[in-house]
Amino acid sequence: MARSPAKPPPPLPAAVAQTADYEAPDVLVVDRTDQLRALGDDLRSSIVVLLRERAHSTTELAEKLGLPKGTVGHHVKVLEKAGLIRVVRTRQVRAVTERYYGRTARLFLFQVSQDADAEDVRNVAAASLRRAAEEMLPFSEDDRTAFGVLRVRLSDRDALRFARRIGRLMKDVQAAEDASGEPYGVAVAQFKRAADA
């Protein structure tokens, strides 16, 4: 989980805005406990991913996720209450108004404060990494897929230096977004681990 940089991040590339079917700000800094708790759930994480570029109704989300509409509706309400998604348009279907939800921003940057609940932070990180693993295609040796887990001991100075480098890398990858390019995912994390892990 990366801390958001001190300076505001650059806007998302036009490629993302061109493919989106609703308006949303580029970035939302996610730092509230209710937001972290909401995104620490795998199902809610999946809903947020589905809404990145296209608005969906609860019915459409339930169909895509293969779950009952009531279950999905509950999780949509949790995300809406946390300020992570919102109604972006409505449509009249017979006597019912169908709501279409979109994200409150295209990109969520996590900023973890000192008073954040450690369990909530860990759950968000775990849900994000599980989501990345689910999206990952089979590994190929094409020099465009890389994966590794390092367990090291770092000085405070080096930990800060690498965290800043990871932040710059994320900005560089984000700035390289190209609507005509191939889909890729990038998951980066630097975290303190238990000494015996």
Helices (H) and strands (E) in the chain, counts: 7, 5
Q: How many residues are there in the chain? A: 197
Band (pLDDT 50/70/90 cuts) for residue 144 is confident
The Cβ-side half-sphere exposure at 194, using a 13 Å CA radius, reads 4
Report pLDDT for 119.
80
Report pLDDT for 19.
66
Candidate from 13-27, 45-59, 110-124, 169-183 with smallest mean pLDDT:
13-27
Instruction: Write the DSSP symbol of residue 115.
Output: T
Structural contact between residues 73 and 85, judged by C-beta atoms closer than 8 angstroms: no
Beta strand pairing call for 27-30 and 56-57: unpaired
Mean pLDDT, range 111-138, rounded to an integer: 77
Domains for the chain: give ranges and CATH numbers: 14-175 (1.10.10.10)
Mean pLDDT, range 79-90, rounded to an integer: 96
Q: Could you tell me the CA-to-CA distances from 36 to 91, 98, 102, 109, 170 in Å, in that order?
A: 31, 28, 18, 11, 20
